[in-house]
Amino acid sequence: MALSYHFFLFTCLLLSISISPSIAQTSFRPKALVLPVSKDSSTLQYLTPLNQRTPFVPVKLTFHLGGQFLWVDCEQGYVSSSYKPVRCRSAQCSLARSKSCGECTPSPRPGCNNDTCSLLPDNPVINTGTIGELAQDVVSIQSTDGKNPGRVVSVPKFLFTCGGTFLLGGLANGVKGIAGLGRTRISLPFQFSATFSFDRKFAICLSSSTRANGVVIFGDGPYVLLPGMDVSKSLIYTPLILNPVSTAAASFEGEPSADYFIGVKSIKINGNAVKLNTSLLSINKEGFGGTKISTVNPYSVMETSIYNAVIQAFIKEVENIPSVAAIAPFGACFNSTFIGSTRVGPAVPQIDLVLQSSSVFWRIFGANSMVQVKSDVLCLGFVDGGFNPRTLIVIGGHQLEDNLLQFDLATSKLGFSSSLLFRRTTCGNFNFTSN
């Protein structure tokens, strides 16, 4: 621990030295940065654009909360005069925890150079990983005061990994890579905080609408949504848990998971505890079990015994609503003409994920639990993860929408807002007009 902390400081120093010319030029040090996050209607993936390279191009990326780092396809269309491969045994290699040093014999090009260290970029949608060159290139991004986007700043030597074109399989149309926000020292939030020396915190707010952008803010609050509500002021906190075993499709031995896990202790529906084998809920030595938060799963996924118990308990609580034939991938569907509506979505029993104590829970209301599958059919938006999956419960995108989540990497805790619909706002309400 002491060693890695020392190392982190050392790297901060390196990064800040390398960016000092641009800061001196503008004498502007942002306190936070902002990117829009859209929802792709065909894949249900969340997407974010990042300006990279010289000259700058907007690179469309799949937004992956638990992703290890930024990776992009360097095989096709990567043109940049500022691309630099990272040499073996350099400080950047150690920062990235690379355990591999590569050679590439065809003529040098982005993604193929000699004496460069490599990482293992992965695509969680097709569960595939590969080996790719670690590199640096310039990235530019808008700063924010938490209310509007402000002036653009750039990070001249932003670390990322080169993936191949095949690794884009299953990603939304036009996407060129994955933006990883996970628990590594080179994920987007870590690099931005280290570069500009702001708090190691970031917040995500995913929009439920494909017409209004959600938002990710790197740095501390305020996080203001129209009409002028600072959501950072009213969060509930729970510890983030480290899974000691990687959950990526490919990993070096001994690498911990980059995913964010929280400690769900029980599940209540309408206040009644669902009977579960609670020993399954914690993470074991092999890294199996636990509850993680994922932006690449459109719906929450639960291990079969938990899934069945939750579905049955839910059906029992809604006896008066007629069930209809289930529509895949869901297992419990209802005739929506019998379901009323509320400010927080369809009027169905609340589902509580109970955390470190019985008074701390993540409450899921109808807007986040139910999915409109047909005009008169609403399904419970959870899917069966099979027996013995790697992670017991994956809280997916539909359950995250219109909830603001703040990740505090320094103190390892998650702040969550619960449904913003209660407060008459949504994640689509960040004011993206620059001031």
Instruction: Tell me: does residue 323 bind ligand NAG (CB under 6 A).
Output: no
Taking CB under 6 A as the criterion, which residues in 121-180 touch ligand NAG? 148
Question: Does 375 participate in binding ligand NAG (rule CB under 6 A)?
Answer: no
Q: Which stretch binds ligand NAG (CB under 6 A): 100-108, 124-132, 242-250, 311-319?
A: 100-108
Which of residues 89, 103, 197, 210 is near ligand NAG by CB under 6 A?
103
Min. distance of Cβ 278 from ligand NAG in angstroms?
A: 8
What is the amino acid identity at position 198? F
Residue 282: partners with Cβ closer than 8 Å, 6 or more residues away: 263, 289, 290
Say how far apart CA 182 and CA 65 lie, in whole Å. Answer: 6
Q: Does 101 bind ligand NAG (CB under 6 A)?
A: no
How far is Cα 79 from Cα 239, in angstroms, rounded to an integer? 42
From 339, 377, 420, 421, residue interacting with ligand NAG (rule: CB under 6 A): 377
* Number of chain positions touching ligand NAG (CB under 6 A): 17
Residues near 370 by beta carbon (within 8 Å), at least 6 away in sequence = 339, 345, 346, 348, 378, 379, 380, 381
Q: How far is the CB of 376 from ligand NAG (least distance, A)?
A: 4
12 binds ligand NAG (CB under 6 A): no
CB of 433 to ligand NAG, least distance (A): 4
Beta strand extents in 40-148 (DSSP E only): 46-52, 57-64, 71-73, 84-85, 101-102, 116-119, 122-123, 128-129, 132-144
Tell me the closest approach of the beta carbon of residue 45 to ligand NAG, in angstroms.
28
198 Cβ neighbours under 8 A, 6+ residues apart: 30, 31, 32, 192, 218, 219, 220
Stretch that binds ligand NAG, among 84-92, 101-109, 125-133, 398-406 (CB under 6 A): 101-109
The beta strand positions in 279-380, using DSSP E, are: 291-293, 300-302, 323-324, 333-335, 341-342, 345-346, 351-354, 361-364, 370-374, 377-380
Stretch that binds ligand NAG, among 48-56, 70-78, 103-111, 216-224 (CB under 6 A): 103-111
When the beta carbons of 186 and 274 are compared against ligand NAG, the nearer one is 274
Q: How far is the CB of 370 from ligand NAG (least distance, A)?
A: 15
Dihedral sign (CA 179, 183, 184, 188):
positive
Least CB distance to ligand NAG at residue 374 (A): 7
In whole angstroms, give the CA distance from residue 428 to residue 368: 15
Decide if residue 376 touches ligand NAG (CB under 6 A).
Answer: yes
Q: Nearer to ligand NAG by C-beta: 20 or 337?
A: 337
**Coil, helix or strand at residue 321:** coil
Report, in Å, the least distance between residue 361 CB and ligand NAG: 23
Q: Are 286 and 245 in contact (CB under 8 A)?
A: yes
Q: Binding to ligand NAG by residue 308, rule CB under 6 A?
A: no
Which helix (H) or strand (E) segment holds residue 399: the answer is helix 397-400
> Is residue 373 part of the contact set for ligand NAG (CB under 6 A)?
no
- Say if strands 201-205 and 214-219 run parallel, antiparallel, or are unpaired: antiparallel
Nearer to ligand NAG, 112 or 262 (CB): 112
Q: How far is the CB of 351 from ligand NAG (least distance, A)?
A: 22
Q: Does 359 bind ligand NAG (CB under 6 A)?
A: no
Residue whose pair of structure tokens reads 């206040």 in the numeric block: 271
Site for ligand NAG, residues 217 to 256, rule: CB under 6 A: 226
Note whether 310 and 274 are within 8 A (CB): yes
CB 276 to ligand NAG: min, Å: 9
- 114 interacts with ligand NAG by CB under 6 A: yes
Binder to ligand NAG among 91, 229, 280, 315 (CB under 6 A)?
280
DSSP secondary structure code for residue 75 in this structure: S
Q: How far apart are CA 353 and CA 260, in angstroms?
A: 16
Cite the beta strand spans of 196-297 per DSSP E. Answer: 201-205, 214-219, 224-225, 229-230, 236-241, 260-262, 266-269, 272-273, 291-293
Task: In angstroms, give the least distance from the CB of 309 to ligand NAG.
Answer: 11
Footprint of ligand NAG on this chain (CB under 6 A)? 103, 105, 108, 114, 148, 226, 277, 279-280, 324, 335, 337, 376-377, 431, 433, 435
